[in-house]
Every structure is written in C-alpha cells, then in structure tokens.
Amino acid sequence: MSPRLRASGFTLLELMVVLLIIGVMTSFAVLSIGNRTLSDRQDNEAARLQELFRLAQDEALFKRVEIGFFTDEQRYGFLTPDGEGGWQPYTKSGPLRVRPFSEPFRGVLFVEGQAVAPPDPEEPEPAVLILSSGEVTPFRLEIRAPEGLEPAIIRGDALGRLERGAAGAGAGS
C-alpha cells in the first residue's frame, strides 16, 4: 500500500479572516498618525467605530456567535453571552475589546429613536445585537465633541448595512 498524501494548508475562509484583520489593523495605524483638527479626529473616531462594527459583523457570521454592543458615553465595547444569562466582554484584548472614546469625544446611542440609558458599569448589557444571521438591531450612534461641532453619526439598519455621516445628512432612526 502506498502512503496517502495529506492535504495541508489554509482554507479560503481562514485566509479571508487574516486579510480582514490585517486590513483593520492597518486602518488603525493610518488613523492614529499625525496631528489633526478636532473635526478630522471626530471623523476618524466614527470611521474606526464603523470598521469595528463591520469586524463584529464578520466575527458573528464566521464564528456563528451573537455579539452585543454597548456604550456609556465614555467607553464602548462588544459583548458576548456568558452562558449564564449575562454578558461578558467579547475579548480582553484585540480590536473588539472594551475601550474608551478618544478624548474629548463621547458617544450617545439611540435605538428606536430613543437615547439608550448608560448600562451598569459593573455588568454592562448590550443595547445593539449583532446576530450570527447577519441581522443587527437598528441604531444610531452619535460621536459628539464638546466644542459645538455637529456630531458624526453611524447608522445601522436591521439588515446589517452601516452608513456614516454628519448629523444633518440622511433620515434619523
């Protein structure tokens, strides 16, 4: 009998996930370089959050897990069910960790047109769910600056489509 050759290598899905992670990390590196005006920094914060939402959507689809998002104005993060009816941080490190908004920004989350009350800091619960089916709780996230700038806005619809714009652009959710 001749020995069987075993196929080795990476699957297409594994390569796609690695390329996505490299792209997100490159985006973070590019966004963190140089001095920018407050408006530019606000746009970059919104772009970063939009990319994190896209990464969370990909994670939910590829890993078949439910992911939640929360913000308490000072920080934001992604959560996953802990198996006991509660929620825990999706990861302790990496792009989907709990992190503060860049100074001097804060975030205000709206679901069904109503501002979401900040969660308990010790046991945050998500206001937005990112399901493994690709569906997302419709939301509007405003990135606000203290100096009277119009907020930068990220909107997500039930089909998981994300858009970013200024407060005056598009219909409110």
Per-residue pLDDT at 173 exceeds 50: no
Report the pLDDT value the prediction gives residue 170, as an integer from 0 to 100: 47
Report the pLDDT value the prediction gives residue 93, as an integer from 0 to 100: 82
Task: Compute the average pLDDT of residues 104-130.
Answer: 89
Dist. CA 80–CA 78, nearest whole Å: 7
Task: Compute the average pLDDT of residues 119-132.
Answer: 87
pLDDT band at 1 (very low <50, low <70, confident <90, very high): low
What percentage of the chain has pLDDT greater than the value 70? 88
The model's pTM: 0.71
What percentage of the chain has pLDDT greater than the value 90? 35
Per-residue pLDDT at 161 exceeds 80: yes
Task: Compute the average pLDDT of residues 90-98.
Answer: 87
Domain residue spans in the chain? 12-166
Report the pLDDT value the prediction gives residue 2, as an integer from 0 to 100: 54
Domain 12-166 - what CATH class?
alpha beta
Task: Quickly list DSSP for 88-154.
Answer: EES-SSSTTS-EEPPTT-EEEEEETTEEPPPPPSSS---SEEE-TTS-B--EEEEEE-TTSPPPEEE
Q: What is the pLDDT of residues 9-41, one digit of tens each?
A: 888 888 888 888 998 888 877 766 654 688 888
Per-residue pLDDT at 90 exceeds 80: yes
